[in-house]
Structure 1
Amino acid sequence: MGLIQTYNVNFKNQNQYIIYPANLCFQNDKIYALMGHNGSGKSTLLKILARQLKPSSGKVCFNDQDIAKFSSKKLAQKIAYLPQHLPNVGYLSVRELVKMGRYSYEKLFFKNEDEDLIDEVMRITNTLNLSNREIHTLSGGEKTRAFLAMLLAQKSEFLFLDEPLAALDIVYQFELMELISKLNKEFKVGIVLILHDINLAALYCDEIIALKEGKVIFNANKQEFMQESRLKDIFNIDANIIEHPKRKSPIALF
């Protein structure tokens, strides 16, 4: 089982903590939500976990190995990161983009198994019908699914997603969360994503990590998170907790 652990990871700017020392653990069979007010440090923490940002001190380990010592290609085989603002990839087609996920495996030529994997990840992300479309012509939801397919082609054990729902309307938000749940189960990939919707976190995530002014103030399962007093402490909101009639999961009414 893939395991990511942080040891006193922190980040400072001009001697001011942006992220206070944090000790966290992530398993690759679960979905984790990073939550908190804007400016609480969620994106900074996620970038540190994905080695997009170097911590001021402390370390991040994958199966007890410091990821700071991984080559870029080895890191890509363990961890995949999707920023909130998707990169401009010019006139690449969807299939060309997805193929880029295989480049960390140092192959001069694509083999049949590579093409089969690309077909599989495009099928599960529902992008096969977009195969020849150029990325810049896609809608927000389509573009996100195409980039997720590329990350899946890396065969990484963890996906780190920075506010993947931010640019999507409510229909596509549920569609993407269903897809993320499916990826977790079928690909056995751990997923850590930044969310702002309490009910989506409760419906789809296993564990919730909440930050406030750079400090981890909550780190436990969603049942412990979805309590009226807890939501009041973390978000300063008054909510009533009920059970979802179909999913048997707690949801909050405001």
Structure 2
Amino acid sequence: MALIKSCNVNFKNQNQYIIYPTNLCFENNKIYGLMGHNGSGKSTLLKILARQLKPTSGKICFNEQDIAKFSSKQLAQKIAYLPQYLPNLGYLSVKELVKMGRYSYEKLFFKNQDKELIEEVMRLTNTLSLSNREIHTLSGGEKTRAFLAMLLAQKSEFLFLDEPLAALDIVYQIELMELILKLNKEFKVGIVLILHDINLAALYCDEIIALKEGKVVFNASKQEFMQEEKLKDIFNIDASIIEHPKRKSPIALF
């Protein structure tokens, strides 16, 4: 089992804590929902975990190895990161984007297994029909799936996703969460994603981590999270908890 740990990680801006000293552990057989109010530090923490941002102090370890010592190519084989605001890649096609996911394996030519992998991840993310489309012509949902296909081509052991549902309507939100569940359960990819929807988190995540003003105020199972007093304390909302009639998972009514 692959593990990522944050060891006394913190981040300051002008001597003010954005992220207070934090110790967390992530396993690659689980889906983690990172939640909290806007400005609570979720994106900052996610960027630190993915080595997109250097912590003020502390370290992130992958299987006890400090990721700060990994080369960029070594890191890409361990961790993949999807930002909230996807980059503008001009006239690059979807298939060319997905091929970029193989850069960390440093090959001069694509082998048959690379081509098969690219086709597999595009089929998995339902992007095969978009192969020749240019990225700038895609809808928000199509673009998210294309970038996710690229990350899957990296064959990383963890995916860090910053609000991947933000640009999607409810149909594509469910579709993407089903895909995330499949990746985790069938391919053993550990996933940490920022979510704002409490009920989607309860349906699809194994564990919830909640931040408040830069501090981790909750880190446990979704069953423990979906308690009326917990939701009141973290989000200052009044909710009633019932059982989902089909999934037997707790959901909140407001």
What is the CA-CA distance between 1:93 and the residue it aligns to? 0.9
Q: Deviations over 1:124-169 (max 9, x none)?
A: 1011111111111111111100000000000000000000111111
Distance of 1:170 and 1:138 partners within structure 2: 18
Distance of 1:34 and 1:221 partners within structure 2: 12
Residue matched to 2:225: 225
Partner letter of residue 139 of structure 2?
S
Partner letter of residue 112 of structure 1?
N
Query: Percent identity over the alignment?
Result: 89
Distance of 1:166 and 1:240 partners within structure 2: 25
Residue matched to 2:40: 40
Partner SS state of residue 159, structure 1: strand
Distance of 2:66 and 2:48 partners within structure 1: 12
Residue matched to 2:127: 127
Q: Which runs of 4+ in 1 moved over 2 A?
A: none
What is the CA-CA distance between 1:53 and the residue it aligns to? 0.3
Partner letter of residue 170 of structure 1?
I
Residue matched to 2:140: 140
What is the TM-score of this pair, normalised by structure 2? 0.99
Number of residue pairs the alignment of both structures matches: 254
Partner letter of residue 220 of structure 2?
A
Partner SS state of residue 108, structure 1: coil
What is the CA-CA distance between 1:174 and the residue it aligns to? 1.0
Q: Deviations over 1:215-240 (max 9, x none)?
A: 00000000000000100010010000
Partner SS state of residue 11, structure 2: strand
What is the CA-CA distance between 1:186 and the residue it aligns to? 2.2
Map 1:67-82 → 2, pairs under 5 A: 67-82=67-82
Partner SS state of residue 59, structure 1: strand
What is the CA-CA distance between 1:89 and the residue it aligns to? 1.1
- 1:204 matched to 2:204: yes
Partner SS state of residue 160, structure 1: strand
Distance of 2:180 and 2:90 partners within structure 1: 26
Residue matched to 1:192: 192
Which sections of structure 1, spanning at least 5 residues, go unmatched? none
- 1:180 matched to 2:184: no
Q: Deviations over 1:17-62 (max 9, x none)?
A: 0000000000011100100000000000000000000000000000
Distance of 1:98 and 1:125 partners within structure 2: 11
- 1:165 matched to 2:162: no
Map 1:56-95 → 2, pairs under 5 A: 56-95=56-95
- 1:247 matched to 2:253: no
Map 1:11-22 → 2, pairs under 5 A: 11-22=11-22
> Aligned-residue CA RMSD in angstroms?
0.6
Q: Deviations over 1:178-205 (max 9, x none)?
A: 1111111222100000000000000000
Residue matched to 1:154: 154
Which sections of structure 2, spanning at least 5 residues, go unmatched? none
What is the TM-score of this pair, normalised by structure 1? 0.99
